[in-house]
Amino acid sequence: MKHSNILTKYWSGQQFIGMPVIDSKGNDCGKIQSLCIDPKTFAISGIIVKKRLSTEYFISVTYFETLSDVSLKLNSIPIKPNDKIIDMDGKNVGKVIKINLNSETNKIESLEIKSHFKSKIILADKIIGIGDKITIKD
């Protein structure tokens, strides 16, 4: 039995690095920088993505839809650093500078945003829409 035949059905971590990540609307989210492995299960829990000059950010495996030889397609639109935040009236509130995740579930707990030269925390339950901009309720 040849090992190469068995291994052809598996992907190596190196195959992912540099692969483009595309959201559900077809927008470029950046490229995969690294894989995040759950130390208890050894399963992939997510990826670290970076787009050009923006900050690296985490995307949970729950966002993954399809993986091909050329890209990873997501099932929705992830929140990214520098995304604009608006209120329900469409007024600009600020932009995302940090995404705070629950360490057990990898779900968003809050967003740190920059608003008028200061930062503030927006809890996840205040987020009501994610698209070109993130809509929050007061």
- Determine, yes or no, domain membership for 15: yes
- Determine, yes or no, domain membership for 79: no
57 and 98 part of one domain? no
Q: What is the pLDDT of residue 112?
A: 95
90 and 121 part of one domain? yes
Q: How many domains does the chain have?
A: 2
66 and 88 part of one domain? no
Q: What is the pLDDT of residue 8?
A: 59
The tens digit of pLDDT for each residue in 128-137 reads 999 889 999 9
In whole angstroms, what is the distance from residue 86 CA to residue 89 CA?
8
31 and 89 part of one domain? no
DSSP state of 3: H
- Who has greater pLDDT, 38 or 23? 23
70 and 11 part of one domain? yes
CATH classification of the domain holding 89: 2.30.30.240
Considering the chain, what percentage of its residues have pLDDT values greater than 90?
A: 64
Confidence class for position 14, pLDDT limits 50, 70, 90:
confident
Whether the pLDDT of residue 2 is over 70: the answer is: no
19 and 69 part of one domain? yes
CA-to-CA separations, 57 to 3, 21, 102, 120, in angstroms, rounded: 36, 12, 14, 19
Strands laid side by side in the 134-136 sheet: 118-123, 108-115, 92-101, 84-87, 134-136, 127-130
The tens digit of pLDDT for each residue in 110-125 reads 999 998 889 999 999 9
Whether the pLDDT of residue 92 is over 50: the answer is: yes
Structural domain boundaries enclosing 122: 84-136
